[in-house]
Structure 1
Amino acid sequence: MNQNTNISQVGKSNNLNERLDNWLKCEESCHYFAIQIKGKEVHPFGFKDRPFYTLDQAKTYLEHLRLSNPDIEYGICSGGIDVDAIDFENLEAPMWHRVWMNLHQVRLIKLNMSKKSEQELSKLIQNYDEVIAWQVANNTTEFCHYYYVQSCDNESIATSSSYTPDIFEALTTKVCFEKTMPGRSFKISRGLISTDSLLSMDGRTADFFQGFIDYHKERITDIDPEYMVDREIVTETRTVKR
Structure 2
Amino acid sequence: MRRLREEHDGRGQCDPKIPATSIPYVDATGKVVYLTHEGHVLNVDGSLRVAPGASDSGGHGIGDGREIPSVALNHGVAVFTMRKTFAECMLERLFAIKWHDAEAFYKHEPSRVELMSEYLRRGALWANELGGTRKWPFFDIAERIAPSVQVPPELSAQLQTYIEQNIGGISTEYACHAALRWATLRDTHQKLPDLEDPFEPLITLYERGGEIIADETRAFDFGIQSVRVRAWREHLSSEPCTSLDPAALDALDAEKAYRRNGIWRTT
TM-score between both structures, scaled by the size of structure 1: 0.23
Larger helix proportion, structure 1 or 2? 1
